[in-house]
């Protein structure tokens, strides 16, 4: 199942555009001819944006300038309406790489939350089956995914509790972002193909310790835990230094693979991100 072709060329009626003011504030706006965007810095007619190339500068009624850009997936994730806390782009990139997600791959995800991880998986071409406890979050995720990727993606969200079981036995990846992922391990052993990859995102180390302890008693091997640090730099003339502020902590990523046998021989092997 293909993700909608990327939008190219001029900004079109109906698409969502990212307006950026001179202070760097960002606004995600759906373009509709006849409608107007209101900000502190004045008003912009959507028709002054439609038909222009992304990267164009538009002037508000108060003579302020704004940039009109096509949002990246990372922009969307940070600007979209959120029910639950999302997984940040730096972690999503790592999940796609070490989770080794391919087009057409069958992925189980829980909880779906606002759909940020779903969007990353779907755009990498995966088929995603998600469980989400809260109907309002499930509805929000469906809307966010449709707004970002259209409806031609293979995404289903069921309002279900992942601790109670997973329907299906042929998932190739299992991606968890819920408080007690150790309660999903036994279900994951049944639902995942042998060799399949398990990944869990957890904000706190006591949760990681519990998960690793449970994984060490399971059919999973090659377990590993890491975090992704990203530090921006300030570069202007001769002032070249790290940014004063950074997002110092989001979450820890734990990965493991389902093994078919000889577990004891490989128990001591762990996953470590390649250096």
Residues that bind ligand SAH (CB under 6 A): 84-87, 110-111, 113-117, 131-134, 137, 161-163, 177-178
For the CB of residue 130, give the shortest distance to ligand SAH in the complex, in Å: 8
- Rounded to a whole number of angstroms, the CA Rg of the chain reads 21
Considering beta carbons, is residue 41 or 161 the nearer one to ligand SAH?
161
Number of residue whose CB is nearest ligand SAH? 111
Cα separations in angstroms, 51 against 26, 31, 70, 105, 257: 20, 11, 13, 37, 49
Considering beta carbons, is residue 52 or 82 the nearer one to ligand SAH?
82
For the CB of residue 78, give the shortest distance to ligand SAH in the complex, in Å: 11
Between helices 135-149 and 116-123, what is the axis angle to 10°?
A: 40
Considering beta carbons, is residue 206 or 236 the nearer one to ligand SAH?
206
Cα separations in angstroms, 206 against 180, 198, 201, 210, 256: 11, 19, 13, 6, 18
For the CB of residue 172, give the shortest distance to ligand SAH in the complex, in Å: 19
Distance between CA atoms of 219 and 256, rounded to whole angstroms? 10
Distance between CA atoms of 139 and 37, rounded to whole angstroms? 26
Considering beta carbons, is residue 60 or 129 the nearer one to ligand SAH?
129
Residue appearing with tokens 């008003």: 43
Considering beta carbons, is residue 117 or 191 the nearer one to ligand SAH?
117
For the CB of residue 128, give the shortest distance to ligand SAH in the complex, in Å: 11
For the CB of residue 192, give the shortest distance to ligand SAH in the complex, in Å: 17
Do 197 and 219 touch, CB atoms closer than 8 A? no
């Amino acid at each position: 199942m293909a993700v909608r072709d990327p939008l190219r060329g001029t900004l079109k009626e109906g698409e969502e555009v990212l307006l950026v003011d001179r202070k760097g504030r960002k606004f995600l706006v759906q373009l509709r001819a006849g409608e107007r965007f209101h900000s502190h810095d004045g008003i912009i007619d959507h028709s002054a944006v439609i038909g222009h190339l992304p990267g164009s500068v538009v002037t508000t009624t108060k003579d302020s300038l704004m940039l009109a850009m096509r949002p990246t997936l990372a922009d969307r994730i940070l600007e979209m309406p959120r029910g639950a806390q999302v997984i940040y782009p730096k972690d999503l990139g790592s999940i796609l790489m070490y989770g080794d997600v391919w087009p057409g791959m069958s992925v189980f995800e829980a909880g779906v939350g606002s759909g940020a991880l779903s969007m990353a998986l779907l755009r990498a071409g995966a088929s995603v089956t998600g469980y989400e406890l809260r109907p309002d979050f499930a509805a929000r995720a469906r809307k966010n995914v449709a707004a970002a990727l259209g409806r031609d993606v293979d995404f289903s969200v069921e309002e279900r509790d992942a601790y109670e079981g997973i329907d299906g036995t042929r998932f190739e990846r299992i991606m968890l972002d819920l408080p007690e992922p150790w309660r999903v391990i036994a279900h994951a052993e049944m639902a995942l193909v042998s060799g399949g990859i398990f990944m869990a995102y957890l904000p706190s180390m006591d949760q990681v310790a519990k998960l690793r302890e449970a994984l060490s008693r399971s059919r999973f091997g090659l377990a590993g835990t890491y975090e992704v640090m990203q530090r921006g730099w300030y570069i202007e003339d001769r002032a070249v230094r790290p940014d004063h502020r950074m997002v110092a902590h989001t979450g820890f990523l734990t990965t493991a693979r389902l093994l078919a046998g000889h577990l004891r021989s490989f128990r001591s092997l762990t996953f470590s991100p390649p250096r």
